[in-house]
Amino acid sequence: AQNRLLIKNGKVVNEDDIVEEDVYIEDGIIKQLGRNLIIPGGTRVIDARGKLVIPGGIDPHTHFEFEFMNTTSVDDFYQGTKAAVAGGTTMIIDFVLVKKGESLLDSYYSYRQKADEKVCCDYALHVIISYWNDKVFDEMSILCSEHGVNSFKTFMAYSFMLNDSELYSAFEACKKLGAVAMVHAENGSIVFKNTEKLLAKGVTGPEGHELSRPEEVEAEAVNRACTIANQVDCPLYIVHVMSKSATIALAQARSRGVRVIGETLAAALGTDGSHCKNTCFQHSAGHVLSPPLRSDPMTPQYLMNSLAQNDLQLTGSDNCTFNKSQKEMGLNDFSKIPNGVNGVEDRMSVIWEKGVHSGLIDACRFVAITSTTAAKIFNLYPRKGCIALGSDADIVIWNPNKTRTISAKTHHQAVDFNIFEGMECHGVPEYVIVNGRVCVDDEQVKVVQGHGNYIECPVFPPFVYDIENASKLKPSDNGDANWVTQPTQKENDRKVC
């Protein structure tokens, strides 16, 4: 029967433990765990002998159908979530674009309208703050209290960047609401000046992209964002940490008591900035995102080590894909190349290959950085991010011994390019179970459009919703995010499997 499933003989991996046990699922929920379970007749049985049974990936950073840099990203909520599921990710969190001056609520409603009927897996939404005034705060309050939005992204670069005082207000608002403050950390003013200068000198190709936004421009912004957040006692989530310098800035901020989470990307772990110097425009432009892939060839390994040591806490894809024809908008001016790359489908395999297969992290840490930590930060744990009684049945049967080769020719994404082209990865999601339904069945993708649900992310308690008085609340009136920045005792004791 469609609604009953038993996964037998596998090794169940959670962030803190690996246990040989069977998993019984009914109506989309994990109902029993253990050996010799008594289950109803007619239940479908999947044999997971020799394989790992892991929580489905949670990708906290996607941009489907994103209107950006005068075009729209090509993976929509159908194709994007289909690709996610094909790769072992069972939930994504996307960013609601709010254009300067426009209503946060209206933007949110239009995203719900676009996404609800298309998504093949569960999803939630962060909302972008692209300008600041009192009405923004009121709309944030409503999004938190009535719509299950508990995270807001700010930008320190691009035309819709906030200045320091606006960042201060936005972070303070997050603190008051018990929401997660997120930031794209690059010094936008320096990027504008550098870009002007490079173009004037005739540096117009994709190689100019990283030159215009070097590591220290990222690190400066990380440090400044941490300082501002700390002034209002707001925990901070730095999206897409792309460099060694930025990771060090983050660790230094943490060592002086700033509560900050660092997310890095599959792109940064699986490829590097050398591709942006390729003489083929399609190839180099295809690797352009911001902050850039770094030309220091040690960067991917440095970032993976930082994940291993918990100097960085989790991974996303930042999937924001543009076809070759769209990338051509920047043929004569690198600053017009739409910024963004793929990753929603390949994130799990790339991280397994570069992290677990290469021996830098174990399977438990893999689960933490691809799923559990995101669930905790966005207050969805233990409903999501673990295999436990009562949790949603979002599960992957992972075969660590099988390999696959990544290619745009075979991927499930809409985009016509893949930054991981030709990479051979150990680790294949043989079965992907989304809300109890087998959506990858012995490697055959069988997603259902609209099967996913919008997941409300509650703010961190105690939450006081009072639109008249919310702006008068003192920081201490509300609780904080349950930031997990240090490994637990259990994690420290863990042996590498």
Q: How far is the CB of 67 from ligand URP (least distance, A)?
A: 11
Burial of 114 (0-12, 13-18, 19+ CB in 10 A): middle
Residue (280 or 467) nearer to Zn ion, CB: 280
C-alpha torsion angle, residues 344, 350, 356, 357 (rounded to 10):
150
Applying CB under 6 A, does 290 fall inside the site for ligand URP? yes
Number of residues binding to ligand URP, judged by CB under 6 A: 9
Task: Please pick, from the candidates 187, 339, 435, 478, the single residue that binds ligand URP as defined by CB under 6 A.
Answer: 339
**In contact, 274 and 295? CB cutoff 8 Å:** yes
Q: How far apart are CA 427 and CA 322, in angstroms?
A: 27
Q: Segment contacting Zn ion (CB under 5 A): 6-14, 205-213, 316-324, 411-419?
A: 316-324
Per-residue mark of binding to Zn ion, 272-311 (x: CB under 5 A)? --------x-xx----------------------------
Q: How far is the CB of 348 from Zn ion (least distance, A)?
A: 18
Per-residue mark of binding to ligand URP, 218-247 (x: CB under 6 A)? ----------------------x-------
- Alpha-carbon torsion (241, 242, 244, 245), positive or negative: negative
Q: How far is the CB of 354 from ligand URP (least distance, A)?
A: 20
Judged by DSSP in three states, 87 sits in coil
Applying CB under 6 A, does 21 fall inside the site for ligand URP? no
Applying CB under 5 A, does 467 fall inside the site for Zn ion? no
Residue listed under structure tokens 């809300």? 435
Applying CB under 6 A, does 318 fall inside the site for ligand URP? yes
Q: How far is the CB of 304 from ligand URP (least distance, A)?
A: 20
Q: How far apart are CA 292 and CA 277, in angstroms?
A: 12
Residue 280 binds: one of Zn ion, ligand URP, none (C-beta under 5 to 8 A by kind): Zn ion
Pairing outcome for strands 89-96 and 71-72: unpaired
Residue (67 or 106) nearer to ligand URP, CB: 67
Q: How far is CA 72 from CA 68, 315, 333, 390, 415, in A?
A: 6, 24, 19, 39, 12
Q: How far apart are CA 137 and CA 9, in angstroms?
A: 51
Q: Which residue(s) pair with 135 in the sheet? A: none
Residue 273 binds: one of ligand URP, Zn ion, none (C-beta under 5 to 8 A by kind): none
Residues 171-200 that bind Zn ion (CB under 5 A): 184
Q: How far apart are CA 261 and CA 238, in angstroms?
A: 6
- Identify how many contiguous H helices and E strands the chain contains and give both numbers: 16, 21
Q: How far is the CB of 275 from Zn ion (least distance, A)?
A: 10
Query: Can you read off the two tokens belonging to residue 219?
Result: 């690190």
Applying CB under 5 A, does 318 fall inside the site for Zn ion? yes
DSSP H or E run through 57: strand 57-62
Task: Please pick, from the candidates 289, 374, 434, 459, the single residue that binds ligand URP as defined by CB under 6 A.
Answer: 289
Residue (21 or 75) nearer to Zn ion, CB: 75
Q: How far apart are CA 386 and CA 369, in angstroms?
A: 12
Q: Which residue(s) pair with 396 in the sheet? A: 54, 432
Q: Where along the sequence are the contacts to Zn ion (CB under 5 A)?
A: 184, 280, 282-283, 318
Q: Where along the sequence are the contacts to ligand URP (CB under 6 A)?
A: 63, 184, 240, 289-290, 318, 320, 339-340
